[in-house]
Amino acid sequence: MTATSGLPARGRFITFEGGEGGGKSTQSRRLAQALGAAGVAVVETREPGGSARAELIRAFILSGQAKPMGAATETFLFNAARYDHIATRIAPALVAGQWVLCDRFADSTRVYQAVAGGADEALVRGLERLVVGPARPDLTIILDLPAAVGLARAGARRGGGESPDRFEAESVATHERIRAGFLAIAREEPERCVVIAADRDPDIVADDVRRVVRDRLGAAI
C-alpha cells in the first residue's frame, strides 16, 4: 500500500519538529556535521518538499494559494508531497544505510493541519498511516520555545523585506496551540520523541541534541 512497504533493516531516520524559529534548520545542520565527522553517511532534507516534485507542492502550499481550499485539502497536499519525498529520497537513503535528518515531517501535519487548522483527526492520522507506513522516524527531536520568541526569530531571519509565509502569518495564539500540540505528541509517544528546550544558546541546544542521538541511537558523537 505504501511507497516503502517491506523497507528492510536500514539507516536511522531522525526528524526535527516544533514551531517557527525553534532552530530546526540550524540544529539539523549541526547534527549532520557531527554525524558526518563521525563517519556516518547523512542525508539532510526538509518538509514540505525535499524532492523535486514535492518542492513544487511546497511552493503552492506556502504561497497561501491552498489555504482557501481548506485544511483537509492542505492535508492531502502535504501527504502528496510526503509520498513523493519518501519514495524518491527518504526510503532509498535508509535502504542504502544512510541516516536521514528531516526538518519537519508528519508531526507537523498532525499539529498544523489537525490541531491548529481543524482538519479531521481521523483523516490526518489515517493518511499518515498510509503514506508514512514503515518510514516512521526512529527519533523525533521537538525544539520547544515560547511561540512569541520563535516568531520573532523567524521574523529576524526573514529580514524586513519578505512577508511571512502562510503558517508564519497565523496569530501568536495559534502558534501557542501549535506548541502545545507538539508537546502532546511527545507525551503520547515518549519512545520516539524527545523535547529539547530551544530558548537557549544554540551551542547548548546542539550539545543536548548530540547527547540524545548518542543515547537513543548509539551514534559515536
Ligand X SMILES: Nc1ncnc2c1ncn2[C@@H]1O[C@H](COP(=O)(O)OP(=O)(O)O)[C@@H](O)[C@H]1O
Q: Is 108 in the site for ligand X (CB under 6 A)?
A: no
Least distance from C-beta 24 to ligand X, angstroms?
3
Q: Which lies closer to ligand X via its Cβ, residue 200 or residue 211?
A: 200
Q: Is 2 helix (H, G, I), strand (E, B) or coil?
A: coil
Cell numbers linked to 78: 502535504
14 beta partners: 101, 139
Q: Which does 202 bind (CB under 5 to 8 A by kind): ligand X, Mg ion, none?
A: ligand X
Q: Decide if 60 contacts 94 (C-beta within 8 A).
A: no
Residue of the chain from 3, 111, 154, 185 that contacts ligand X (CB under 6 A)? 154
- Residue 92, CA distances (Å) to 84, 85, 125 in order: 12, 10, 24
Residue nearest to Mg ion (CB): 25
Q: Which does 126 bind (CB under 5 to 8 A by kind): ligand X, Mg ion, none?
A: none
Q: Which stretch binds Mg ion (CB under 5 A): 20-28, 70-78, 84-92, 198-206?
A: 20-28
Question: Other CB atoms closer than 10 Å to residue 132's CB: what's the count?
Answer: 21
Q: Is 25 in the site for Mg ion (CB under 5 A)?
A: yes
Q: Is 25 in the site for ligand X (CB under 6 A)?
A: yes
Which segments of the chain does DSSP mark as H helices, in order?
24-37, 52-62, 71-85, 91-95, 106-108, 121-132, 147-158, 172-188, 202-217
Q: Which of 150, 59, 44 is nearest to 105 (CA)?
A: 44
Q: Is 20 in the site for ligand X (CB under 6 A)?
A: yes
Q: Which residues bind Mg ion (CB under 5 A)?
A: 24-25
Q: Which residues bind ligand X (CB under 6 A)?
A: 20-26, 153-154, 156-157, 198, 200, 202, 205
